[in-house]
Structures are given as C-alpha cells and as structure tokens.
Structure 1
C-alpha cells in the first residue's frame, strides 16, 4: 500500500493511540496479551504472558504491521540475535510473524531513562546517577561497536532499567531498528559514503550527522554526551528549535561548558576526546569511563542507589559489568 505523507502521519498517530491487539488475545499460541505499554511510529509494545514449562513468564511483545517499518523490525531481530548473551541488551526470546504483524518477543524491562527523568524532581536526575548511567552506557556501546554495529539512535528513551529487584540497578540499551553494520567481515571499517542519509533523532544526533557525514562509533558517543546532558540538566539548549540546520548550527557554536550547570568540569575531557575522533577511529572507552568516574560526587560508588531505587541496595550484589 502506498501512503501519502498525510496518510502516514495519521497512521502513526493511530498506532500511538489505538491498540492493535486486545487483552486476553493469544499470539502464536504462546503469548497472552495483558496490555499495551508503549507505542511509536514503528508499532506497539505489549506486556504479555508466555507459558514455559507450565510457568508464566512476563515478556515484552513488540509488534509492527507488515506494511509499516518491516525492514526496521527485521534488522532489529538480526542485531539482537548477534548480541544474544550480552548483559546490557535485552534477551531476544523469539521473533516471527502473526496475522498481518511482525513481532519480536523480548525480556521485559523497566522504565526508560526519559520517563525516569520526567518524573524526577525538577525534571532532572542527580549527577551521581547520571554519571553512573554514562559508565554503563559507554560499556554497552563498546560491546555493540566491537560486534561491528552502530546503534544510530542513542537517546534517553532508548535506555531502560531492569524490570525488578537488582536488575533495576542495570542499564540496557534498546531499539536497534536503525542500527547499521559498519565493519567488514575482516574487521575493517566499511567504506565511507560521500553522503550519508539522515538517521536518528535530531535532538541527540552528532554535529557530523547534521552535515550528512558517515556515522561512526564516535557519533553514538556524541549522542550519549547529549543524552547525559539532558538527563542531568533537564534539557538541551536547542530543544525548542525545529529546523534541522538551526539545531546543527547551535550544536557547532554552543559551548557545552555553558550548558553543564550540574555536570562536573571533567565532562570537558569527554567532549575533547570526541572532537579528536574520525569515522574509522576506535574510541578510548576506558578513558571516557575514567572521565565519568572522576566526576562522581564524594561517597557515590557502584552500589549507591540510583534515584529510582530504594535508599538501600544489598551490598552482596555483584559489581556491574
């Protein structure tokens, strides 16, 4: 079916508002729908029960109509399959098609960081929480990059915490529908395209992406820097701008040091490292983590509770990797 831009907009609005599946509906004889818990232009996400060995397991069921963003869901299934076993990525349970939908069944996670920020006092998270989120996120991106993939849509809503218990102390990177393989089979970077198509979310994309330059590992990290800034400061200076070029110009001219009212001065070293990297360079992930670690307030350590956790976390829990 060919849709006009107006038709597509109306359809996306409907996807966000009207559930395509109903409570109690059985999908593929395995999943019983409980409720819709998320939606977007790609489709919808449901809380569902999956029966395994006579026991019910809560899962996240992501569905997309076959005529909407099908390549995006196929790509996500491929990436998640290759990343199976990686702790910072939700476990892929199964994928396939059902009726007129494609679906992915995933490990159930908790809220995303965008939701947590909006609920926080003053609309921002504490510095100790944000810098430790950054350390986990750098580690997550390092693993994704080493597997040969770029995420290309790093932003607060694409990081989630675990569903319950000690898992809520962990950060997971989600939504690989815009990912791209950037390494050849021999491990070398793919050839740079003279004009790279726009991918991602304008507010968080790197300055290079505004110039249609090829997306490399460094660009995911620029997006992470903007993500951490929004989480700690409550917003980004260009959040009210709508023009793509205007946003890019502000990113190139605005000194982030003027934006970081709560983040520590050490963040300048984080940004400086990114400015030195090109498309094919491998970021110094350990250095970036060291910068974030040095900025932690006194008394904040690995198992200090995050803002969304109870004030005490069992000290017997293993360290985050």
Structure 2
C-alpha cells in the first residue's frame, strides 16, 4: 500500500508540473507584429521657400502622432508632421521613424523663380558677373570667368554714385530670383540728374572678355529690372576699354541733347523683368571686347532727374546662353 500511495503522489506531482509548463507557454499574450513605416516619396524637389508634404503609412495601422520627424540639415530643409519647408539651396534627408524603424526621403532644394526671374539665365556659361546675390552666384560659381562684383575695395571693385545724385533705396522682399537677398536699389535725388556705376580698379588686374569677341552671337548682357508706373527710362553706359556705348531701356532717353531710342521696354508693374542685350548689338555700337583692359567703369546707369524715382536692378552679368 505504501508503494501505491507513493506512485499516486508521484503521478499527481508530474501532472502539476506538466500543467504548470503548459500554462507558461500558452497562458500569456504573444507579442504583436512589429510596426513598419513607409513614405509616399523617396525623393522630393523644391525651390527655396516652397513647401511639400510627405505622407507616412504604418503597418499595421497605428497612430500617426507617434511618428518622429527629423531633418539631417534644418538649415536647408525643416519638417513638421510631414510638412517640408525648403530654406536654402542644397540637399537634406528627411527621416520619419517609429520605434526602431524608419523611412527616409531625400529633398533637393534649388533657387526659387518668381515673376520676371527666369531661372534659365542661370543655366548658361562663361559668366562675367557684375551684380548677383550670393546664393545665385554659388549656383553658377563653376561657370564664372570673372567675378566683377563690388568687394569693399579688396580688389578695387566698387559701386559708386556720382555727386550724391542717387540716394539709397529699399531692397526688401525677394530679388529677381525669388530670394530674400538684396539687390541694387537707388532713388533719384534733387540735383536734376542721376548716375551710378560699377568700377573695377587696377588692383583687380586685367578684365578679359575676349571670348565674347570670338563668338558674339552666343553672348548677352543680362539684367533684371523692377519698375512701377512712376518709373522712367534709364540709360546704360558700357565699355570694352577702347570705346563706350549707350543703350536706353524702358523708354527713350535723352542725355546731353542726344535722344537714344529704347532698346527694349518692360512692364512697369512692380514685378521683376529680365532684359537681355545681344553682344552683336553692342558690336554695332562699337564695342568688340577684342582686348583685355583695366581700370574701367564696366557698367554705369543714368536714371534721369525726376526726384524720388526708384531704380531697382538685379542680376547684372554678361553670359553665354
């Protein structure tokens, strides 16, 4: 009988042990499937100032509020709950993550184009830059032959005003390429005439535009103008170191008793408009750019004598289309 009792108690103990193991294996909840995340776009192109939207999808479905958004370079692109804002030119990666899983989108930001600012003028080559904002200059820097922009006299390059005939204007808002960077804004004073110019001194060395002599049909002088209904015409004065040419834009212009017919006109609507002057047309006025030269007013402007008239100019350069 003792043997039988021991056998019964042994079987009961084994039964309890088996029940305990079974409870541990199946009685608790199994972990759910891992949440994965995807974005509707793996790459996105924006212009400076534009916004775009990235849509995230979770599998299995979950709360989108749990997603963490980040930018690899907030100076170029920022992101908030999937809304992407382009801050400046460059490339950055947007990362959307949930738990240990993440999805990415590469965002490429280019310079903005607005109104009259046609970005095609930054797609040329052989640039001789007289005035241009830093961002736009950076986008063409590998195609710049000579940088003739004012430099606070480091290489004797400056923008000057004759006899205080212009006062400073207000360059607020966006420039010809839609960027929040400055441009040339001048206001006609009260002395009866006005003039300003870009001068490149001897410290710079040779100004060499002879490429334009070899292929005049391919090259242009470009500038952007913003004018209003009260704006008058202007006279551009150009040189190749040997001769001088005068070109009126925005209407006929009379200087020292000589009237210059307008080369081209543009809408005076407060928006930016581009002007391209063909080098072959400057050839007809005696400018050939067939030799290097130094110490010259490479680009000058007369703005008339109507007090208070504003001249807004931007993106002044010679280039090959």
TM-score by length of 2: 0.28
Say which structure is richer in helix. 1
Higher relative contact order (CA closer than 8 Å, sequence separation 6+): 2
